[in-house]
Amino acid sequence: MNIEEIKRKLLPYIDEDRVLEHEPMDIHTSFRCGGSADLYVVPANIAELFSVRELLLKEGMPHIIMGNGSNLLFLDGGYRGVVVKLGEGIDRVRFEGNIVFAEPGVGLAALSRQAMKEGRSGLEFACGIPGSLGGAVYMNAGAYGGSISDLVVSVASLNSYGIMQDRKAEDCEFGYRNSIFAKNEEMIVGIKLQLGEDLPARIEERMVELTERRNAKQPVNMPSAGSFFKRPEGDFAGRLIEEAGLKGLRVGGAMVSPLHAGFIVNAGGATTRDVIDLMTIVRETVAERSGIVLEPEVQIVGEE
């Protein structure tokens, strides 16, 4: 099925200005590089999202779900298929005491601020993670000793037959930066979280402290996807990369951050090729020196 035909079939369900052809992905991802997606579809609400997903599955059209694009690296050849963007309109949140029901497109920073105002604690660790809640569940995002799996009660998702699943946290196979959703290609559509209770001022204090720590140690003002590599067992990727003398190393516009060696940043005009070449040098050098093979945490998608 060609893209024109898919676009035509999508239009009964979604406004034309929400179905973009040949959309550059550098403007939609935090790394600010990568080629274009054949189609970039932005459903306005959860009902549209369901219709879009159903059609793409029915037509056997390759597609990828994207939250905030803060852990995605698109190759320079772009993506042959449909990128479905979850954000505004798919971000409703309801607090019922310590329980939160949320749609996947809500931003983690916005959600943690809202929880703070409601006097609900537990999301402080997430206030500086620039992802969506859906992306955080998929990745089991975490920081400063907390991770989203500590708070998840259950996750609703649509499988590849279009059937709704409702999984309890213990069935989500959460691990370090991993979940069942990274293996089964289901689309996360609703998340139930259990928070604690505290005074908003105390929650805010913790958020401010964590933000200051993050700002001091991480290159938050440069395009990146956060920590490029997963933490190896018993060590830190940043420490191993620094020890290998790779801080500040550049390939084209890609650079190992001089501030935090665990981050590869786009220092200006990087192509994804630059990032991949730099990643390869880092992995090979670290493996030679330490015997540890670093695995990327960043999700690399698309065509060369």
Ligand X SMILES: Cc1cc2nc3c(=O)[nH]c(=O)nc-3n(C[C@H](O)[C@H](O)[C@H](O)COP(=O)(O)OP(=O)(O)OC[C@H]3O[C@@H](n4cnc5c(N)ncnc54)[C@H](O)[C@@H]3O)c2cc1C
Contact footprint for ligand X (CB under 6 A): 30, 64-72, 86, 104, 129-132, 134-136, 138-139, 141-143, 181, 187-188, 220, 224-226, 299
Which of 177, 186, 224, 283 is an active site residue?
177
User: For residues 151 and 137, what is the distance between their CA atoms, to the nearest angstrom?
Assistant: 10
Using CA atoms of 301, 40, 165, 48 in order, give the dihedral in degrees to the nearest 10. 180
C-alpha separations of 68 from 65, 87, 107, 195 in Å:
10, 7, 8, 23
Distance CA 241, CA 261 (A): 6
109: number of Cβ within 10 Å: 18
Q: Which DSSP letter does residue 126 get?
A: G
Q: Which residue out of 124, 227, 257, 283 is catalytically annotated?
A: 227
- Considering the complex, what minimum distance in angstroms separates the CB of residue 288 from ligand X? 27
Q: Which is nearer to ligand X, 193 or 225 (CB)?
A: 225
Residue 43 vs residues 7, 85, 164, 298: alpha-carbon distances, Å: 13, 7, 19, 25
- Does 297 qualify as catalytic in the annotation? yes
Tell me how far, at minimum, the Cβ of 235 lies from ligand X, in Å. 17
Q: How far is the CB of 126 from ligand X (least distance, A)?
A: 8
CB nearer ligand X, residue 153 or residue 199: 153
Nearer to ligand X, 122 or 130 (CB): 130
| Residue 5 designated active-site | no
Q: Of 24 and 119, which has the nearer Cβ to ligand X?
A: 24
Residues with catalytic roles: 177, 227, 297
